[in-house]
Amino acid sequence: MYPKTTIAHEWLDNPSDTEKAAIFVTVTAAIAFALNALSAPLYRILEGYLLWPHWLQKHGTKRQLDRKKKLEKSIADSGWRRGLDQEKLALYPKRDEQIVPTRFGKCD
């Protein structure tokens, strides 16, 4: 579970099982806390709000808006495809100005 390191620290040369477990738990907790602290910025990046160039945000938003318009037109059909398209359309915000650049951010 704990690989042998090539770092020249004497306390890492022959750790006991208890020390290995303590190191593993500590590193795991540190990674978990770091990811928890970064979760909001990471979601904003995936949703297209943060760190995206303006032109790419506009392109993504237009693309999502076009998909929504296509779904709105397709629900005029009948049959089982209409039901599927209605489910997909329900994932989009009701107002067009609330649409964001990615599918990940389209849910209310």
- Please tell me the predicted confidence (pLDDT) of residue 9: 62
Are 38 and 68 contained in the same domain?
A: no
* Domain extent for 87: 53-98
- Average pLDDT (40-47) is 90
Give per-residue pLDDT as tens, 79-101: 888 889 999 999 899 899 889 89
Residue 9 domain-assigned (yes or no): no
Residue 6 domain-assigned (yes or no): no
Residue 104 domain-assigned (yes or no): no
How would you write 44-108 as a 3-class SS string? HHHHCCCCCCHHHHHHHHHHHHHHHHHHHHHCCCCCHHHHHHHHHHHCCCCCHHHCCCCCCCCCC
Are 65 and 37 contained in the same domain?
A: no
Are 42 and 57 contained in the same domain?
A: no
Is the predicted pLDDT of residue 15 greater than 80, yes or no?
no
Is the predicted pLDDT of residue 25 greater than 80, yes or no?
yes
